[in-house]
Amino acid sequence: MRTIPIALLVGLAVLGLGAAGELVAQDRKPLRSVDSFNDIADARERSAALFTEAAKVFTHPRCINCHPAGDRPKQGERGELHQPMVVRGKDGFGAPGMRCSTCHGPANFDPGRVPGHPQWHVAPREMTWEGKSLTEICEQIKDPRRNGGKNSRQLAHHNAEDSLVSWGWAPHAGREPAPGTQKQFGELIRAWLETGAACPSR
């Protein structure tokens, strides 16, 4: 039987098991296919439109909550501050004595409504998306200085294959999954990169 850390039990008590204010997962929101953008003749306009569609994932709570503007991650559909109180820490895996792995195990723990993954952590400060426009997020994602040093090939692979990114489509415990599927998302990102990686003007 899995032992639940004391910090987790305190957090669950504060949250009332996390049920208050949460949306129950409904039908997955769709993503348009890459082919549905073929009628846009202008290459730059098509590229920007592809990113705008993919940004439905980047700006969804499943992603934004771990790419917060401050040092505290968010949670829930409304982006409320994480409870219990935790911070990013120097490496993104939490502060000494309150590491992410204290409560977050290698997989979702649905009885306690606790999400999990072997690499559960908060995104680096340079990868903050919360409160930014689509243009700002787009430029940031393209910039190796702010995307973890990834080139176009690595960026496409990360979004289409990374298992922590995959969690956004399998959050369980009543959380709304990210729009579409990771495969569709990866195809949009790849097509966006292949068409010049243009950014929307908003």
3-state percent helix, strand, coil for the chain, nearest multiple of 5: 40, 5, 55
This model's pTM is above 0.75:
yes
pLDDT above 50: residue 104: yes
pLDDT at 27: 53
pLDDT above 80: residue 103: yes
Model confidence over 148-167: pLDDT tens digits? 999 999 999 999 999 999 99
Closest listed residue to residue 172, CA positions, set 119, 117, 118:
117
Whether the CB-CB separation of 122 and 95 falls below 8 Å is answered with no
Model confidence over 176-194: pLDDT tens digits? 999 999 999 999 999 999 9
The percentage of residues in the chain with a pLDDT greater than 90, rounded to a whole number, is: 85
